[in-house]
Amino acid sequence: MTATGTSLARLDGSAKVRGTAPYAYEHTVDNPAYLIGITSTIARGRVNHLDVTAAAAVDGVLLVLTHENAPRLADTSDGDLTVLQSAEVSYRGQPIGAVIAETPEIARHAASLVTIGYDEQAHDTTFRADHPDAYVPEEVNGGYPPTSLDGNPDAVLAAASSELIVDQWFSTPEEHNNPMEPHTVVAVWDPGAPMLTLYDSTQSPHGVVSTLAPVLGIGDQQMRVIAPHVGGGFGSKGSAHSHDVLASLAAMSLPGRAVKFAVTRQQMFMFVGHRSPTASHVRMAADRDGHLTAVVHEAYAHSAHAKEFVEQSAVPARTMYATAHRRTTHEAIPLDVPVPYWMRAPGEAPGMFAGEVAMDELANACGIDPIEIRVRNDPPEDPETGYPWSSRRLVDCLRRGADQFDWAARTPQPGTQRDGRWLVGTGVASAAYPHMVMPGSEVTIRYEGNGRYRVSTGAVDIGTGARTALTSIAADALRCSPDRIELEIGDTDLPYATVAGGSSGTSSWGSAIIAAAQNFWDRFGTGPAVGAVTTSGAPDNPDLEQFTVSSFGAHFVEVRVDTDTGEIRVPRMLGVFSIGRVINPRTVRSQLIGGMTFGVSMALHEESVRDPRFGHIVTQDLAEYHVPVHADIADIDAAWLDETDAHATPMGSRGAGEIGIVGSAAAVVNAIHHATGVRVRDLPVRLDDLLGN
């Protein structure tokens, strides 16, 4: 019996439940000091006065860092990482100082004594699609070109019957990653080596080294990042941010002291990334049979003056459905805001909300069932490249989900199903997420004797169950049971590993494990000596250049809307996914349900409210930044097709970490329309969107 495909319990579960698994801030270090950051209270301008006298005089304060005394950075080209190098202020909440003291309480008190004056300049933090400074970027997130064009969609739309056209605007708000463990780092500088060690809450230990070492002016070999346990990230921990630089500068200024910096929950809304607000103008035309004749998706997102980052929201429209006439564009609006960054399924989540609600509207216009219109427009090959799909079983997901959800019992007319005072509706939406395998990961395998193997790589488990999945993959590759594998991860002293992001972790690291195991057998045969060791990585997979590889899924949602108050409840939700071979059913189901919960949150709860007068997020804690609680999530289930995708990875698996959120918000909104007859196109849905209708 193989380990992959078996529902193995999390190997780190006991340690996490017992509280013995060390997270970044909890690492035991000698002689720790504590950092409290000081952030700007204006959105644009310069610091013209900075008095740290009172703070520095507090007993127990070791250092007050500002732009006037901080070490100089070797590379200031990255505006997100250029900390304490000048008096310039680019956004509200920018780190402009730090107090380091013997205790966090002393540091916090001393920070409150620092007085700051500004030369404030006019700022602009208001996102709108018609902004005069909007521009077309050279590329959008993921390296995609910003525009694409097939055929002549504008001419087709102009000639189409107005009854069979959708021409609407959709929007999603600014959102913030809020993992339970905030961004934290412990920095230790050994000037004798010299060596900088970071205990960091990160999705990419090696990425932190390659990003920060040049900024700090040290070599990669002079930096070590340790991250054995990470309490969630959802993308924001995919790279170093300014807090890492701040802690490193403090440690380098205090040789021999370990500097601990825990970003506060309020600061999580300032300088560690966010999902930018988006606007999408979607136009679709179809013939009388519901076949798409043209698709146009024009996407807009805010970026920052400090550094460009543009969501690829229109990219999914390039491959999702079949049509000969298609155009997608992206425009960025630069504002005086912190730098946006990855948040679970960046681009796909907001983009497919717009596209899948538009498809629901088109189904209504054509008088066709929402599932059937998706089936009729399923492309036989990738519309963008012409490549064959490695496996595209979206129709199977839709059909199986419809059967399991009892879609046939649905009344076609919106607003006609009631249960007492509740209006009842059901909705559906498709999901797609590109398969990614990041090149470069390496694995060391060492035979320890007695049938035991040590498998080492610098990968990181951010709570997804990667440690358990990789152990299963290694056990099968080395022809032993999982309990004979000792897996080492989460340290840049181990072989290089790529980021835990883009749903690529298991695919990238697992492929490297299988390649390393094959190399091990080739070198040592079936009777290796104790201490036999080899290090290698996965070769390039030529199939990824000959096939389009992607994960797919279908979301089904039931909603109930109170006719008196507009209260919305989601009593039932089902996702059916095509993700190749499932490595560990237990952890994969958890990932899929987590993503679907994100979709409910995106549809009904999450919104970061930025005050345009002052440039800051008003909803900067978990009391006012609303996310679902247990009472909001009822009967939710995830299932998957039984399949193996031999083109995707040696394991036959594809990514599963992000597809759960893609399309799920659209399914909620489509169900609300079916329940009430009200079409909502701006997230999150509010009660007053539904009242009076």
Cβ contact 383:326 at 8 Å: yes
- Which residue, among 435, 376, 424, 369, has the nearest Cα to 402 in the 3D structure? 369
pTM for the full predicted model: 0.97
For residue 516, which amino acid is it? A
List, for residues 318-330, the tens digit of each pLDDT value.
Answer: 999 999 999 999 9
Average pLDDT, rounded, for the chain: 97
Cβ contact 688:607 at 8 Å: no
Distance CA 386, CA 501 (A): 27
Stretch 272-295: mean pLDDT, rounded?
Answer: 98
CA distances from 329 to 144, 225, 282 (A): 11, 39, 11
- The confidence score (pLDDT) of residue 52 equals 98
List, for residues 36-70, the tens digit of each pLDDT value.
Answer: 999 999 999 999 999 999 999 999 999 999 999 99
DSSP bridge pairs for 423: 418, 561
List, for residues 593-639, the tens digit of each pLDDT value.
Answer: 999 999 999 999 999 999 999 999 999 999 999 999 999 999 999 99
Sorted by sequence, the CB contacts under 8 Å of residue 236 that are 6+ apart come out as 177, 179, 183, 272, 273, 274, 341, 342, 343
Question: Is residue 693 pLDDT above 70, yes or no?
Answer: no
Cβ contact 570:633 at 8 Å: yes
Distance CA 345, CA 347 (A): 6
Q: Residue 6: helix, strand or coil by DSSP?
A: coil
List, for residues 86-143, the tens digit of each pLDDT value.
Answer: 999 999 999 999 999 999 999 999 999 999 999 999 999 999 999 999 999 999 999 9
- Which residue, among 555, 572, 632, has the nearest Cα to 419 in the 3D structure? 572
- The confidence score (pLDDT) of residue 248 equals 98
Cβ contact 337:394 at 8 Å: no
Distance CA 690, CA 171 (A): 17
Stretch 234-248: mean pLDDT, rounded?
Answer: 97
Cβ contact 497:457 at 8 Å: yes
Question: Is residue 311 pLDDT above 60, yes or no?
Answer: yes
Distance CA 326, CA 365 (A): 20
Across the beta sheet with 258-262, what order do the strands follow?
Answer: 61-66, 95-101, 32-39, 258-262, 184-190, 195-200, 223-226
- Which residue, among 127, 302, 172, 167, has the nearest Cα to 668 in the 3D structure? 172
DSSP letters along 510-576, please?
HHHHHHHHHHHHHHHTTSPPTT-EEEEEPPP-GGGGTSB-EEEEEEEEEEEEETTT--EEEEEEEEE
Cβ contact 426:457 at 8 Å: no
3-state DSSP percent of the chain in helix, strand and coil, to 5: 25, 25, 45
Distance CA 303, CA 326 (A): 26
DSSP assignment letter at 688: H
Q: Which residue has the tokens 């060690």?
A: 197
Distance CA 44, CA 118 (A): 9
Distance CA 631, CA 10 (A): 26
Distance CA 447, CA 442 (A): 17
Stretch 478-495: mean pLDDT, rounded?
Answer: 98
Provide the percentage of residues in the chain whose pLDDT is more than 70. Answer: 100
Across the beta sheet with 115-120, what order do the strands follow?
Answer: 88-89, 45-51, 115-120
List, for residues 428-478, the tens digit of each pLDDT value.
Answer: 999 999 999 999 999 999 999 999 999 999 999 999 999 999 999 999 999
List, for residues 353-369, the tens digit of each pLDDT value.
Answer: 999 999 999 999 999 99
Stretch 278-301: mean pLDDT, rounded?
Answer: 98
Specify the pairing of strand 550-562 against strand 635-640.
unpaired
Cβ contact 152:585 at 8 Å: no
What is the SS3 string spanning 447-508? EEECCEEEEECCCCCCCCCHHHHHHHHHHHHCCCCHHHEEEECCECCCCCCCCCCCCCHHHH
Q: How confident is the model at residue 162 (pLDDT cuts 50, 70, 90)?
A: confident
Instruction: Tell me which residues are annotated as active site.
Output: 658
Distance CA 333, CA 127 (A): 7
DSSP bridge pairs for 454: 446, 486
* Tokens, residue 161: 């019957």
Q: For the chain, how far is it from start to end, CA to CA, in angstroms?
A: 58
691 or 181, higher pLDDT: 181
Question: Is residue 692 pLDDT above 80, yes or no?
Answer: no
List, for residues 529-583, the tens digit of each pLDDT value.
Answer: 999 999 999 999 999 999 999 999 999 999 999 999 999 999 999 999 999 999 9
Q: How confident is the model at residue 691 (pLDDT cuts 50, 70, 90)?
A: confident
Distance CA 653, CA 347 (A): 23
* Tokens, residue 329: 């564009």
Distance CA 324, CA 155 (A): 12
Length of the chain: 693
Number of helices (H), then strands (E), belonging to the chain: the values are 14, 24
